[in-house]
Each structure stands twice: as C-alpha cells, then as structure tokens.
Amino acid sequence: MLDVFHFIMKGLFITFEGTEGSGKSTQVSLLAGRLYGLGYTTRVLREPGGTPIGEEIRHTLKHSQANDAMTAEAELLLMNASRAQLVREFIRPALAKGEIVVCDRFYDSTTAYQGYGRELELPMVKTVIDLAVGDTRPDLTLLLAVTPSVSEERLRSRQSTLPFIRDRIEEADREFFERVAHGYEKIAEAEPQRVRKIDATGDVETVRQAIWREVETILPTMNAKA
Ligand code: Z5A
C-alpha cells in the first residue's frame, strides 16, 4: 500500500491496458465513478488524445483519409507526441495537486503495439517513451486480458450498434494482434508489481470487482466495500 504522504504529495496514477474490446473504457468509467463517489478528485484521460493537440493527433493516427501510408516510425512518434503533451498539460499538474489520474492506455500500449506489434526495435521504442514521459510513471497498471475470440465478439456486437468509421490501426492483420497480446504478456512478466493482470472474460460486474481489489490495495486508508 502506498502511504498517505505519497498520495498527498504525488497523487495516484492508474492506467488501463489490453487489446481492443477487452473492456477498458467500460471499466475506466466504473472505477472513476466509484472513486469520485468516495470523494477522490479523479481525472479520466485517454490515449492517444486527451488534450486538444492529442485529439488532433488521434484523428491523424486512426481516421484521417490520408493516413494509409503512415510508417511504423511515424506512428511511434505521433503516439508519443500525443503522450508528451498529455503528460505535461494534464497528468503532471493533476498529480501535483494530489488527484487520482485514470488513463485509458499509456506507454505500455506503445511497447505492445509499436514494439511487439509493428516489430520496431524495443530499445528505440523505450528511448522515445522515456522522452515523452520522463519520470511520470503509473503507480498501478491494470492489464485486462481476454482471448482473441472474446475481443472479436465484443467488437462485433458493438459495431452492429454503431455507424461504421474506418480505423487504420484496426485494419492490421490477426498476426499483428497476436504479437500485441504476446507483448502484453512480456510486459506483465517484467513488472509484476506494477502491472496486474485481470481476467476480463467475465461479466462487467465480475471484472469490476477484480479491478477494485487491486485498486483498494494502493489507496490510502479507507472503508469502502466492493
Ligand atoms: N495505440 C497504439 O498503437 N499505441 C499507443 O501507444 C496507444 C494506442 C496509446 C486506440 O484505439 C488505438 O491506438 C488502439 C491501440 C492504439 N488500437 N487498436 N486497434 P481506441 O482508443 O479507439 O480503442 P481501444 O483502446 O482499442 O479500445 P476499444 O476498442 O474502445 O475497447 P475497450 O475500451 O477495451 O472496450 P469497451 O469499449 O469498454 O468494450 C467493448 C464492447 O464490449 C462494448 O460494447 C462493451 O459494452 C462490451 N463489454 C465491455 N466489457 C464487457 C464484459 N465484461 N462483458 C461483455 N461485454 C463487455
């Protein structure tokens, strides 16, 4: 458990990771609502994006008509340009005020997608990440793990209710997403204290409770029940 002094001085930084359709956005909202209800000033952010500049970069990365030719290196730098802005514009100021920051994806996504997925050299990926974040690192990362078939099924059911919007990153082949999932396994193995793997194949409430059990351990003394 982090001590109360750490929390007041540094805030608390929680990130969510996982493949698409693993339920990150759903659980980010539920966690933030719970923390907010308990009286914690909580800021929810997402990557890529989260700032006005970052949201423009997000559009370029995902939906721009002209992004077909984007190279893996350009993708790496754009993800981290968005991140560098988010860290300095919102994350550091919020943490300095002792707030809880909950971010939907952070630099582990770059290691998993641009490092393992796009197969860029991991030391180079790390150098770029280090430049973007400096010493701003998550206290806790929740890695939501689902099988590829669960992920595909959830995305299919969501797509059936929404108008189609092209997404360049989702157009990658299945091998790419398998490499991403493998990358997340390696990340969790390398930092088991920070990165907590959550079985996210169950229903929303079961996953919410598993997440809360992890979050509870790093909150300062409180009497909340799951
Ligand atoms: N990316 C990168 O390459 N490098 C980087 O450094 C960063 C990102 C930061 C961002 O896409 C893309 O950028 C992403 C990685 C890359 N690319 N891909 N592909 P995004 O922000 O648009 O989307 P996403 O992060 O991949 O997440 P998502 O597709 O929106 O899914 P999700 O947030 O994990 O899941 P969800 O929206 O909460 O749930 C999906 C559906 O399942 C929805 O209909 C829910 O109601 C349902 N759901 C959720 N939980 C459950 C449970 N437990 N049971 C049943 N159904 C559920």
pTM for the structure as a whole: 0.95
Q: Is the CB of 21 under 6 A from ligand 1?
A: yes
How many A from CA of 154 to the centre of ligand 1?
10
For residue range 163-173, what is the model confidence (pLDDT) as tens digits?
Answer: 788 889 988 88
Closest-CA residue, ligand 1 atom 24, reads 20
Q: Are the C-beta atoms of 21 and 14 separated by less than 8 Å?
A: no
Q: Is the CB of 23 under 6 A from ligand 1?
A: yes
**Three-class SS of residue 213?**
helix
Report whether pLDDT(226) > 80.
Answer: no
Report whether pLDDT(54) > 90.
Answer: yes
Q: What percent of the chain has pLDDT over 90?
A: 80
- Work out which ligand 1 atom sits closest to the CA atom of 144: 34
How many A from CA of 146 to the centre of ligand 1?
11
- Work out which ligand 1 atom sits closest to the CA atom of 177: 19
pLDDT for 164: 83
Rounded to an integer, what distance in angstroms lies between the CA atom of residue 155 and that of residue 118?
22
Q: Are the C-beta atoms of 212 and 199 separated by less than 8 Å?
A: no
